[in-house]
Structure formats: C-alpha cells, structure tokens
Amino acid sequence: MWRRSFNSSSGSNATSALKDKKWDALVIGGGHNGLTAAAYLARGGLSVAVLERRHIIGGAAVTEELIPGFKFSRCSYLQSLLRPTVIRELELARHGLKLLKRNPSSFTPCLDGRYLLLGPDKDLNYYEICKFSKKDADAYPRYENQLERFCEFMDLILDSPPPESLQHGSSFSEKLKDKIQKSEFWVRCLRQALSLGQKDMVDFLDLLLSPASKVLNNWFETDVLKATLATDAVIGTTASVHTPGSGYVLLHHVMGESDGDRGIWSYVEGGMGSVSKAISHAAMEAGAHIVTNAEVSQLLIENSGTVCGVILADGTQVHSSVVLSNATPYRTFTELVPNHVLPEDFVRAVKYSDYSSATTKINLAVDKLPQFHCCKLNHPHAGPQHIGTIHIGSESMEEIHSASQDSVNGVPSRRPVIEMTIPSVLDKTISPPGKHVINLFVQYTPYKPRDGNWQDHAYRESFARKCFALIDEYAPGFSSSIIGYDMLTPPDLEREIGLTGGNIFHGAMGLDSLFLMRPVKRWSSYKTPLEGLYLCGSGAHPGGGVMGAPGRNAAGVVLQHIIRKTT
C-alpha cells in the first residue's frame, strides 16, 4: 500500500522534542480543523504542537495513494465550505492550494433516457430544466437567489463563536466585557435579520425547521430536479428527505464558495490532502510543530482540575498550558478524560448525542470513463456529464426516502443513493494517463447491519457489487472498468479516521445539535468543563464539513483567554 505523508516530524526523536519543553498549546488531532487552530495559535505567538495519531496528517481531508499511480481523496472529496476568511488569512493559495471549479456541477442520468445538467451557467440551467418543466426553469433562479441571501445571513454565525454565557468564575470586569461582546453579536444578527426583511426571515425559519421535501415541493414540480437538490439535504446523515430539519442540512451544503463564487464546489488539485497540506504549511511557517504517529491516550489533569498536558500511547508525558481537541466530543470526553472528572450531566449529554452514520465511501481506480446511455455518446474523452457530481439512484425524492428506510430497518439500501465524482477529469495529477479516479459517496449503510457484518469480506464485497451494478444500469459496462477499490463503511471510518459511529460531522447536524446546542447546551463556545481544555473540531460550532471555522474560532477563544490571564 503506497501513501504520501505530509508532516514535520515523526518517531522517537519527535517524541523527545515534545517532552523536553512545556508548550503553550497542544492540539490533539492533525485534521484540517486542528491544523487551522494550530496555525492561528502560532501566528498569535504561542508555542504549539499538533499530535496526530496516524502516519499522515489531514484526518478526513487526506490524499492517499492506495493503488500505485492513483491518489484518492479517501474521505472528503470536494471543497466549498472552507471559510474564505481562513483561505485569505492563512494565505492558502501561496501555500499551494489550487481549486479546480466544476462547470457543470451536477449531472443526473435517468433510466428513461433523459438527464439533467446543472451548474453556474444560468442559461444552461434554464435550458436543462425546461426539458422537464418551464415553470421550474423560471422558479430556479429565484430559489438560488433566496438561498444565497440566507447564506449571507449565515456568514456572521459561521465565523463567530456562539454567544455562550461564561461558565468559569470570572471577575466583574470580565463579565462586563463578555456581556458587551455578546450584545454586539446579537446586534449584528438583528441587523442582518432586518436586512432580510420579514418575508425572507419567515422563509428562512421555514427552511430551518421543515423537511427538505416540503421546501422543494413548495418550489418545484419536477421529480428529478427535486431529487437532485434533495441529496444536499441528506448527504452524510441518517435522515430522510421527509425528516424535519433536513432543510438546514441542505442550506449547510450550499453556503460555501470557491474563489468568491457562492455555492460552487471544486476539486482540489492533488486531492483533499492538499487542503490539509496547505494549512499545515501555514502553521509550520508560523512556528507550529506537527508530529505524526503520536497517539494521545489520556489528558493530564492537575489536582485543581486544570488540564496541563497529555499522555501519549507510549507513556510519554507532554506538558502544556492549554489543550485543544480535534477529536470527536465522544472520544474527547469519554476516552481521553479520566473517569469521574467531568460533571455527570455533561458526560451523559455527550454520550447520548447522536453519532449515528449511514455513510460509506468507495474509492475506485478505473481504466476508462463511464459511458452513460442517456447521453447517447460512446467515446473515451470526458464530456460535461463527467465533470460534476453524478447522482445515481436519485430520480425522485421517494427513491431517496425508500433507501433511507432500508437503513432504518437495519439493512443497507437495496438501491443505494450514490454521489459519483471523477476528479481526474480536471486534476491530471492523481491518476495515470487514460485512467481515472472515481469517488462514490454512498447512502444508506447502517453501522451494525441486521443481515450481516461489515467485517465479513463476502458481505462487504456483496454490497460493493450492488453499488457497481446500480451504476451499470445507467452506464453499462462500468463494473468491467474497475481496476481496484477501497471501501470505508461506518465502522471503518470510526477505526481509521477516528469518526465516532462513522459520523462524518463528528455528530449529527440536527437542529438540537447546532449553534448554542453544539456539542451540548451551555458548552458551545469551544470551552469545556475542564479548565484549559477546548474543542476545535467539527463536533463544535458550526459543525461538519471541511470548513476550518471550528479551528479558527476556537483558536480565537484560546488567545482571548490567554490575553485575559496575562493582563
């Protein structure tokens, strides 16, 4: 197995360097959020070390060469959500980040011989949707404009720590300053709400609270258009399109941008590991130290109840003033924190948060591009149908709902919902000439199937073949093009990447788990009940996806805390 490793140091010498000093901050986990936090802390003048359990940095945003010559974005596979503030402030373009915009951005083939292409080209969208409904073609620009206004409202919330009440004992001046800061936040929110107007605010609340099916049925009449849009509302979740609150997940997946273009998803040259690599370069340039093969087994806690460092799996103690955890809340508070240290109600809330997953990622090496029969083309070169996300098994919202119900009943979907991407069409650095890398993001697959076990090779192979056979229905001969593949089911994602339950967001993104409720109520501002311990991963506000916002926001909170202690 061949893999690329982007790190500053590894092994016994690196461990010795860690224990020879007391660090200002330690970051547990070298995923993109941990690296982002480290970069901002180091730029703030702190001595920082990042401790990564695996041999390679990046967490879920990682590039691995699993088959010689084929470099896979093994987990996350598209970029849009990375906050523009992070890209700009860390100068990620200078550090090698190169985005490859997709136009068209989506392709949905139909078994009846029709298809739907969508993207940033408004004329193309109108023409394509008109094939199904002129009414929907007229409505689509209004739908996009409304979502864009909602996303602008969300920018303030994404880039700010939640206005959580102070938990630890504070002086009168600290409490006063804290109240002023929170008042300023709510005033800015009020201004944003007033700029939207009452009608849009009501529509915004309707989107947040409603099932995606209700939102989309109110806008459109065409099944294939609604299904194509609805996949954004369920991607990475166990939810159905009929689940209340799935409308927010839809918004979450369109609120990003690429080089200033709102709602555009891009490939990253070199795979998603290039995102982590660019952030790590920014962090190391600022002075951060990044160590791989450095698994943290437990937090060090003083008698006063203050975190003062970590213990590595090999027994090495590394001391620091503060610790930031990029691990999931469950792993952080139930596995890394010793027993009987945290408040019982806090631990209970963490344990009973929703970490369920229905996601499986399949990475394939193929010797030719799939040929979709609906396009009536048969040549080896890439066409517009190969550039964006290809939606397989998503011709109606009821198909998506039926697939989700299979998982609710304890079995993998009989007709899985598949998002196929072929990044090698635009990125020539990740596959040999004439061959391609294909990503399949597959739903719905329960963590513990009722009819088998993911550790059973035959069971795994059977499910993979079911996915390939479904693609064959749309692109005959696809299965025969496969050179090899790698599959990550929910238990694999938990074991390999550290995602509790296999949940790609570090915990569900339901309305009960967002903003002031993330990871649990009363502890949303990255601080924890343990003095000196902070969360900086996707389990904290504003949630999952390759955003960098939790890392940036958490670093800001830590720097403010240190400034208050030294003044």
Which pLDDT belongs to residue 182? 85
Rounded to two decimals, what is the model's pTM? 0.94
Question: What's the structural domain count of the chain?
Answer: 1
Strands 9-10 and 289-292: parallel
Looking at residue 254, its pLDDT comes to 77
Q: How far apart are CA 499 and CA 31, in angstroms?
A: 11
In b/e form, how buried is each residue of 414-440, taking b as 16+ CB within 10 angstroms?
A: ebbbbbbbbbbbbbeebbeeebbbbbb
Quick check: is 164 in a domain? no
Residues in CB range of 503: below 8 A, 6 or more apart: 236, 328, 354, 355, 356, 357, 359, 490
pLDDT in tens, 29-62: 999 999 999 999 999 999 999 999 999 999 999 9
Treating both helix axes as pointing N-terminal to C-terminal, what angle do 212-219 and 397-408 enclose, rounded to 10 degrees?
A: 170
High-pLDDT (> 70) share of the chain, %: 96
Convert the pLDDT of each residue in 438-448 to its tens digit.
999 999 999 99
User: Helices 134-158 and 172-196 sit at what angle, rounded to 10 degrees?
Assistant: 170
Structure tokens at 21: 């000093």
Mean pLDDT of the chain: 92
Strand partners, 289: 49
Question: Would you say 418 and 471 are in contact if contact means Cβ atoms under 8 Å apart?
Answer: yes
Angle at which helices 122-130 and 134-158 pack, to 10 degrees?
140
Q: Does residue 227 form part of some domain?
A: no
| 64 within some domain | yes
Q: Residue 36 sits in which domain range?
A: 9-98+269-353+507-566
447 or 563, which is more confident: 447
- Once rounded to an integer, what is the mean pLDDT over residues 270-288? 98
What is the DSSP code string of 256-324? -EETTEET--EEETT-THHHHHHHHHHHHHTT-EEEES--EEEEEE-TTSBEEEEEETTS-EEEEEEEE
Q: Read off the CATH number of the domain in which 550 is found.
A: 3.50.50.60
- In three-state secondary structure terms, 59 is coil
Q: Which strand (E) or helix (H) includes residue 483?
A: strand 482-488
Residue 2 confidence class, pLDDT cut points 50, 70, 90: very low
Tell whether 105 is covered by a domain.
no
Residue 292 lies in a domain: yes
Amino acid (1-letter code) at residue 385: Q
Q: Helix (H, G, I), strand (E, B), or coil: what is residue 106? A: strand
Question: Of 374 and 11, which is predicted with more confidence?
Answer: 374
Residue 379: pLDDT band with limits 50, 70, 90: low
Using DSSP, state whether 449 is helix, strand or coil.
coil
At which residue do the structure tokens 């890392």 appear?
Answer: 551
Bridge partners of residue 535, in order along the sequence: 325
Burial environment of residue 479 by CB neighbours within 10 A (0 to 12, 13 to 18, 19 or more): middle
* Contacts of 17 by beta carbon, 8 Å cutoff, 6+ apart: 9, 289
- Computed on alpha carbons and rounded to an integer, the radius of gyration of the chain in Å comes to 23
Whether 54 is in a domain gets the answer yes
Is residue 332 in a domain?
A: yes
- The mean per-residue pLDDT over the stretch 229-243 comes to 91
Q: What is the pLDDT of residue 245?
A: 86
CA–CA distances in Å: residue 513 to residues 299, 507, 523:
25, 8, 12
Query: Among residues of the chain, what percentage have pLDDT more than 90?
Result: 76
- The pLDDT tens digits for 521-559 are 999 999 999 999 999 999 999 999 999 999 999 999 999
Residue 396 lies in a domain: no
Q: Which pair of tokens denotes residue 489? A: 């089911």
